Copies of this chain bind each other. A is one copy, B any other.
C-alpha cells in the first residue's frame, strides 16, 4: 500500500465504513472487541515471532535501550494489549449520550448528542501496543481508523493489524473500518494529509520531525501528541523526602515514556540540602546527570555540564537535566519556555505557591506532590487512551473515548419560525 491511488481508495473505503459503523450497536461493538482480545492472545507466538524481526533490526540500528524497551512484545505485554481491548469493551459507549438538553422559551427542545467523528488517521512511532489500543478505542467510539506506525515496529504492527482485521470477519463491524498504511516512506503520510474529503482528524504521536511535518502539510484537523519534556520542581517548602521519591519515580520507573521527567528544577533555598542525596540515588540507578553551573558547584564531580539544548530535549532515557532556580517564578518561566505543555509537577507544602504554579504553568496536566508518571488514560480512570494531547483544542492531556467523539444538535419543534 503506497501509491496515491491506493491510499485514496483506502480513505474512501474508511469513509464508507464509518457511516455503517456509526449505526452498529454497542453490544455488537463489544463482541468484536472481546473477539479481538481473544485472537491477540491466541496468536501471541506469531506476534512475538514478528516482533523479533523488529527487535533484530533495532539492535542492528543501535537503537537506545529505552527505544528497544518500548518496542518489545512479550507474553505479558500481549496480555496487556488484550486486557486493554477488554477494558475498552467494558467502558461506556459514548455515542448517543445526550450531553445537554435545552428548552427554549419558544418551545424548541434542543439536544446536544454525542456522535462519532468519522475517519481518524493516527500516525505514530515505536510502541506496537498503540496499534491495538487505537483500533479498540476508535471502533468503540464508532470511528473508522487509518493507522500509520513507525518503521521500527513495522513487522509487529502488520502482525497485530492482520490478527485484528481477521477478527472482524463475519462481525457487524465492516473490515474496512480499520486500515494500516504499511508503506514506510513519508510520501504516503503526505498523501493521507491531503485527503480532507475523507479523513476528519489526524493524530500524530511522536517527535519533533513528525509533528512538524504533519503541522506543515495537513489540510485535515490535527491534534498533536508531541513529546513530553516534563518537569518536577522541588519548591523551597517541599517535603524533601517526598520530593526524592517523586523525582526518582518520575525519572527511573520507566524512562522511555512521554510522562517521565526530563528536567528537575530545584529551588535555590533547598538545593544544597536536596541535591547531594538525590543525585547520588539517581546515579546509583544509572541516570546520567547534566547540571546547570549551580548544580555543578554543589555536586563537585560526576555531573556533566548541561548545554542550552538539554533544556529542550526529551531524552526518553536514563539522562536528566538538573537546574537550580531562584524561586517559583523562575520555575514557572523555565517550564513555560522549555516545556512541551505535557505534564509538570511541583513538590511543596505551601498551598499558595502550589496554586500559583497550577494557574501559571500552561500544560495539560499539572501535579502537586505527585509523580508526572500518572498522566495516562488508565491512571486518570478513562480506561485506555489514544495518547496524550499536547494541543489545546478539542482534547488536551489523556485522550480517550469521549475525546474521540463530536456532537450534533438535534432541535425538535412544532412549526417554529424565526421572528
Q: Which of A's residues lie within 8 Å of B, judged by CB?
A: 23, 102, 104, 108, 110, 117-118, 196, 200-201, 215-216, 219, 221-223, 239, 242, 245-246, 248-250, 253-254, 358-359, 362-371, 373-374, 379-381, 391-394, 396-398, 406-418
A188 to B290, CA, bound (A): 43
A117 and B341 CA atoms in complex are apart in Å by 13
B108 touches A408 (CB 8 A): no
Residues of B within 8 A of A380 (CB): 102, 104, 110, 409
Report B-chain residues with C-beta under 8 Å of the C-beta of A370: 108, 411-417
Sample of 10 more A-B contacts, CB < 8 Å, known A196-B215, A366-B408, A367-B413: A104-B381, A201-B393, A215-B219, A216-B219, A253-B417, A362-B408, A368-B411, A373-B418, A374-B416, A397-B409
Task: Please name all residues of chain B whose beta carbon is closer than 8 Å to the beta carbon of A359 when the two chains form the complex.
Answer: 23
In angstroms, how far is the closest chain B Cβ from the Cβ of A203?
11
A281 to chain B, nearest CB (A): 13
What chain B residues lie within 8 Å of A412 (beta carbons)? Answer: 368-370
In contact, B409 and A117 (Cβ under 8 angstroms): no
Contact A418 B102 (CB under 8 A): no
Cβ of B379 and Cβ of A418 under 8 Å apart? yes
Query: Roughly how many angstroms separate A104 CA and B377 CA in the complex, as a whole number?
Result: 12
Please give the distance in Å from A394's CB to the nearest CB on chain B: 4
Q: Which residues of B contact A381 (CB under 8 A)?
A: 102, 104, 110
A130 to B: closest C-beta gap in Å? 19
Residues of B near A373 (CB, < 8 A) are 417-418
Would A417 and B245 be within 8 Å (CB), given that A370-B108, A393-B117 are in contact?
yes
Q: What residues of chain B lie closer than 8 Å to A221, measured between beta carbons? A: 221-222, 391-393
- The residues of B that contact A358 with a CB separation of less than 8 Å are 410
Q: How far is the CA of A370 from the CA of B109 in the complex (A)?
A: 10
Which residue of chain B is the closest to A397 with respect to CB atoms?
Answer: B409
Given the complex, which residues of B lie within 8 Å of A363, measured CB to CB? Answer: 408
**A406-B418 contact, Cβ under 8 Å, with A215-B219, A369-B412, A411-B370:** no
A408 near B364 with CB under 8 A, answer yes
Q: Cα distance A389–B413 when bound, in Å?
A: 22
Complex: chain B residue closest to A249, CB-CB: B417
Does B415 lie within 8 Å of A406, measured CB to CB?
no
Q: Which residues of B contact A117 (CB under 8 A)?
A: 392-393
For A408, the chain B residues whose CB sits under 8 A away are 362-366, 396-397
Residue of B nearest to A403 (CB): B393
| Residues of chain B with a CB closer than 8 A to A368's CB | 410-413
Query: Is A371 within 8 A of B418, CB to CB?
Result: yes
Complex: A200 Cα to B341 Cα, angstroms: 13
Whether B245 pairs with A415 at a CB distance below 8 angstroms is yes
- Please indicate which of the listed interface residues A201, A215, A239, A394 has the most CB atoms of chain B within 10 Å of its own CB: A394
Q: How far is the CB of A3 from chain B (nearest CB, A)?
A: 23
> How far apart are the CA atoms of A221 and B393 in the complex, in Å?
8
Rounded to whole angstroms, the CA-CA distance of A246 and B413 in the bound complex is 11
Point out the residues of chain B lying under 8 angstroms from A242, CB to CB.
Answer: 415
CB–CB B374/A418 < 8 A? yes
Interchain CB contact under 8 A, A365 and B196: no
Contact B246 A392 (CB under 8 A): no
12 A/B residue pairs, CB under 8 Å, sorted by A:
A201-B392, A221-B222, A245-B417, A249-B418, A250-B417, A253-B418, A371-B418, A373-B417, A374-B418, A393-B393, A393-B394, A397-B408
A379 adjacent to B415 (CB under 8 Å):
no
Q: Per a CB cutoff under 8 Å, which of B216, B222, B366, B369 touches A414?
A: B369
Q: Nearest residue in B to A407 (C-beta to C-beta)?
A: B396
Whether A409 lies near B364 (C-beta < 8 A) is yes
A216 to B381, CA, bound (A): 38
Closest B residue to A116 by beta carbon equals B392
Specify which chain B residues have a CB less than 8 angstroms from the CB of A414 in the assembled complex. 369-370
By a CB distance below 8 angstroms, the chain B residues around A406 are: 392-393, 396
Nearest CB of chain B from residue A300's CB, rounded to whole Å: 29
